[in-house]
Chains A and B, each alone.
Chain A
């Protein structure tokens, strides 16, 4: 290889977003990894900031949760104080100033996007505070495979259906080609009038092709009883925990 393999600081994820005529589609896979192990198969990486602003996150899961929680809180307060809908640029500024303060030690790589009175916007925000505006972009370890699909098939002023299908295909490429992404995908379609959340969608290659051969049930008495002790107690109060 003629170059060093890029070291990915963002933990395994594929997040993708693309703008279309009058709106924005954002999406993420749902795999959270701890080293080689899948820690969570259905984790939610599309975070709601306001009714029409969403953030997709790659990087350290805890940092992402806290940063997006802080952003959504601050934006809601802003909306209540001003009586207007928050703008995407406000969310971006808040995020980048917070992240820049922490010199990249908060490992949050965000795609912040949404629709506000000035139109649809999509921004990428790196953990060190770098931000950029894009018509389409991808982040995370699967971003290489995903951006290829975006670059190949993106057209300006697509319809909603085209944009949705594009983001889904880009995500699927990331999930298929990248070990650290997969399981299922979530999409959010943001338009001035309504925000629609779709998911989880499970692509075919993420499905188990064959069920288990055997059933793994243990009969009563399978485990050796080493010691037994009986406690006597009175029932003071009881509740139904069957469901």
Chain B
């Protein structure tokens, strides 16, 4: 028999965000999300940011349930304030670890947070040291499986884009510039809108840079190339 309070758990996400794509460049990280929150296959809420600026070093982007993420924003803010009490700014690695534990603890309660999170940032103490400064991208899945990467696409993007993004990244041998990284991400978004019916062509590119700090991106739009539609003739 199903336990009564199971009805109150997120066993199905309702309003969701789709893929997040992020890439490291020489001195920072760029993170791209589209700006739609879907209810099933409908584009329920448009012009919604799926990125959250924690402080000047850390940015969190999400895919998955939007309500869960809004709750998470609250939790993250509280954690950031907790660090502030000791005159500290929470760094990306610490936040990544904290959120991993949080998501894992919730899955152990069989009451999961329905999110895939990307934590992007730069450690404060490494900021000024150009030699050791390594931008950070950490991924956390809904069940608390966490890992670090140099480039990533989550959600359906993991299947569609991971390889293409990896190939572009490898071609530059890791010496990719910010403009190049952004170009790869924009192309990647164009490729998701062709296949992911919950992806949108309105997007934003947030960034964490060792000099500029965190910048939430401006809203941008792409149209893509739909000329192929003209050849779409199913005559037998």
The chain A residues found within 8 Å of chain B, CB to CB, are 1-3, 6, 89, 92-93, 131-133, 135, 144-145, 147-149, 151-152, 154, 156, 173-174, 176-177
Check if B198 sits within 8 Å of A135, measured CB to CB: no
Closest to B196 in A: A3
CB interface residues, B 135-154, toward A, < 8 Å: 141-142, 154
What is the predominant secondary structure among interface residues of chain B facing chain A?
mixed
CB interface residues, B 109-165, toward A, < 8 Å: 114, 116, 141-142, 154-156, 159-164
* A144-B191 Cα distance, complex, nearest whole Å: 11
Q: Which residue in A6, A89, A173 is a CB contact (below 8 Å) of B164? A: A173
**Hey, which chain A residues are within 8 Å of B162, CB to CB?**
145, 177
* A135-B228 Cα distance, complex, nearest whole Å: 8
Cβ contacts A to B, 17 pairs, < 8 Å: A1-B63, A1-B142, A1-B155, A2-B13, A2-B17, A2-B198, A3-B18, A6-B159, A132-B234, A133-B234, A133-B236, A144-B160, A144-B195, A148-B163, A173-B167, A176-B163, A177-B163
Check if B141 sits within 8 Å of A145, measured CB to CB: no
B64 on interface, CB distance cutoff 8 Å: yes
B65 on interface, CB distance cutoff 8 Å: yes
**Hey, which chain B residues are within 8 Å of A133, CB to CB?**
232-236
Q: Which of B63, B164, B227 has the most CB of A within 10 A?
A: B164
Q: How far is the CB of A104 from chain B (nearest CB, A)?
A: 20
CB interface residues, B 153-208, toward A, < 8 Å: 154-156, 159-164, 166-167, 187, 191, 194-195, 198
* A89-B233 Cα distance, complex, nearest whole Å: 14
Check if B156 sits within 8 Å of A151, measured CB to CB: no
A interface footprint on B4-44 (CB within 8 Å = 1, 0 otherwise): 00000000010011100000000000000000001000000
A2 with B63, Cβ < 8 A, contacts A93-B236, A152-B187 known = yes
B231 on interface, CB distance cutoff 8 Å: yes
Q: Which residue in A2, A147, A149 is a CB contact (below 8 Å) of B64? A: A2
Q: Which residue in A3, A148, A154, A174 is a CB contact (below 8 Å) of B16? A: A3
Closest to A141 in B: B159
Check if B187 sits within 8 Å of A173, measured CB to CB: no
* A153-B231 Cα distance, complex, nearest whole Å: 16
Q: Which of A6, A147, A174 has the most CB of B within 10 A?
A: A147
* A6-B142 Cα distance, complex, nearest whole Å: 17
* A168-B197 Cα distance, complex, nearest whole Å: 27
5 cross-chain pairs, A with B, having the tightest CB-CB distances, nearest first:
A177-B163, A2-B16, A144-B159, A145-B163, A2-B64
The chain B residues found within 8 Å of chain A, CB to CB, are 13, 16-18, 38, 63-65, 114, 116, 141-142, 154-156, 159-164, 166-167, 187, 191, 194-195, 198, 227-228, 231-236
* A92-B236 Cα distance, complex, nearest whole Å: 9
**Hey, which chain B residues are within 8 Å of A147, CB to CB?**
160, 195
**Hey, which chain B residues are within 8 Å of A135, CB to CB?**
228, 231
**Hey, which chain B residues are within 8 Å of A3, CB to CB?**
16, 18, 155-156, 198
Check if A173 sits within 8 Å of B163, measured CB to CB: yes
A156 with B191, Cβ < 8 A, contacts A1-B141, A1-B154, A2-B18 known = no
* A152-B16 Cα distance, complex, nearest whole Å: 26
Check if B65 sits within 8 Å of A2, measured CB to CB: yes
Closest to B14 in A: A2
Q: How far is the CB of B46 from chain A (nearest CB, A)?
A: 16
* A89-B235 Cα distance, complex, nearest whole Å: 10
**Hey, which chain B residues are within 8 Å of A144, CB to CB?**
156, 159-160, 195
Closest to A173 in B: B163
* A173-B235 Cα distance, complex, nearest whole Å: 31
**Hey, which chain B residues are within 8 Å of A2, CB to CB?**
13, 16-18, 38, 63-65, 114, 116, 155, 198
